[in-house]
Structure 1
Amino acid sequence: MWEDSEFAPTSEVISILETQVDDMTAQAIAYTMEQLLSQGALDVYTQAITMKKSRHGILITVICPCDRQAICEQILFQETSTLGIRVRQQERQILQRELQEVTTEYGNARVKIAWRNGFCTVQPEYEDCAKLARSHNLPLSMIQESVKAAFQLPIKP
């Protein structure tokens, strides 16, 4: 397990959408981000920028699969004050990945295992760890460490 597969992609083409706004509330931007993520955006982030006439604004960047580009554009037009969206396709290198559930003394949580060319990373899933931390009234970092400790990489013969 976790060996490179000749059939697994190591790169993919994604769409990147960007728009600038200077007249929206933080709540409206947060709602837009939620809508984009719920409709298949891989990531959405914002950056504070200075626009023409020295106005403060926000740059909204959406990273999405190419087949989700149209729906993400529609959300940006419907939910923001933008008049235009810049679009580009870009190749990105990716790690092969899978989710696996582990059992800890605090409950079950998933870990994301990512690998490529003999390199492997293990990352506890935030939502699972946050739920356990809240239910046990413990620090998130303690739960995350417990989840990492519960995960065991298989040993190669």
Structure 2
Amino acid sequence: MAVIDGASMTNHAREIAKKIFMLIAEAEAKAHNLPIDEVHFHEVGAVDSIVDIISAAVCFDSLGISEVIVPKLSEGTGTVRCQHGRLPVPVPATLNIVTACGMPLEIMDATGEFVTPTGAAIACALATSHTLPSFFRIERIGLGAGKRAYTERAGILRALLVSDNQGEGERDEVLKIETDIDDCSGEVLGYTLEKLMQAGALDVHYAPVFMKKNRPAWELTVICKKEIRETLEDIIFRETTTIGVREFPSVMRVILKREEREVETPFGQALVKQVTFSDTVRNYPEYESVKALAEENEASFHEVFEAVRKAAEELD
């Protein structure tokens, strides 16, 4: 972590690099049955891996992309020689990473290691979804191949920069989960919302309703990707008193193109969400970024917000 902290990069790039590093460290700790602080340096901190991690984080941050779709990772079979001798493919660390992140994994009929722990961690750290939109336009294509030679097939990584077909917003399919709750405290409901968002929900909100027997209650609504439905439902059942939920499995949404930009203000660096609609560009200061600067500088939220908004007006 000291190497990452000491490197010259944006805060966003540093966050990505740390996320990748921790995925590898936790996977190696589990593979060796050791506490994370006892994992040897060569397992998670070799120079080439650190270079790969930081390079990937800086490159991704420079692209300004907020949504990454990784349908699946394709791995081979056989064995591979490493620091601890020969290990079966997929190696334990790679399996631990994809398992922890819920990343779909395909085992191909090909001999060789096509997914390394570092590669799996980068893909998992960046992925926001595993489902491609029903239609899209390809803007750019990137193609790269490693140095290792394979016999059955080439080891190639391809990335596509895509946008919606109509140019106004990306359309994709999401899931809506609902339940009505009349016997939970506000503290429990607030805590549940935080847990749902941390687990990957796209949006969560409560609305006041009246239930049977004229009972005032709250309707909990969760918008999410289908891949994490069970995880979110487990949280709802575990944290609240509800005994059932409703599912709306085919809800279409339209998402305007957006990207995070960093601006410099008298209070420090802040993040701005830049949204594009047709030929109009709008900049919205990120709440958490404004809040952090206000607390750090002992300034009012409004004062910092206005400084960030003015700095955002100078963006391209």
Q: Which has the higher strand share?
A: 1
CA separation in 2, counterparts of 1:5 and 1:84?
Answer: 41
Unaligned runs of 5+ in 2: 1-62, 65-136, 140-161, 165-169
> Does residue 8 of the first structure (1) align with residue 163 of the second (2)?
yes
Matching of residues 25-44 of structure 1 within 5 Å: 25-44=185-204
Distance 1:64 1:101 in 2: 27
2:258 — aligned with what? 97
Moved more, 7-16 or 49-58: 7-16
Q: How does 1:109-120 map to 2 (within 5 A)?
A: 109-120=270-281
TM-score by length of 2: 0.46
Cα gap change, 1:5/1:100 in structure 2, threshold over 3 Å: closer, same or farther?
farther
Greater RCO (CA < 8 Å, at least 6 residues apart): 1
Choose 1 or 2 for highest CA Rg: 2
AA aligned opposite 1:11: R
The answer to whether 1:149 aligns with 2:310 is: yes
Tell me which amino acid in the other structure corresponds to 2:315.
L
Q: CA deviation at 1:135?
A: 2.1
**4+ runs of 1 displaced by more than 3 Å?**
none
Helix, strand or coil for the counterpart of 2:163? coil
Separation (CA, whole Å) in 1 of partners of 2:240 and 2:188: 8
CA RMSD of aligned residues (A): 1.9
Q: What is the rounded CA distance, in whole Å, between the counterparts of 1:71 and 1:142 in structure 2?
A: 40
Q: How does 1:44-83 map to 2 (within 5 A)?
A: 44-83=204-243
Determine helix, strand or coil for the equivalent of 1:14.
strand
Alpha-carbon distance in structure 2 between the residues aligned to 1:118 and 1:87: 37
**Percent identity (aligned):** 34
Residue correspondences, number: 153
Cα displacement string for residues 11-60 of structure 1 (whole angstroms, at most 9, x for unaligned residues): 11111110001111111111111110010001111111111000111111
Match of 2:111 in 1: none
Query: Mind listing any 5+ residue stretches in structure 1 that lack a counterpart?
Result: none
Aligned to 2:246: 86
TM score, norm. by length of structure 1: 0.90
Aligned-partner Cα distance in 1 for 2:172–2:282? 20
Of 62-71 and 34-43, more deviation after overlay is shown by: 62-71
Cα distance in structure 2, aligned partners of 1:70 and 1:119: 38
Question: Where does residue 122 of structure 1 map in the other structure?
Answer: 283
Counterparts of 1:51 and 1:72, CA distance in 2: 23
Q: Secondary structure at the match of 1:148?
A: helix
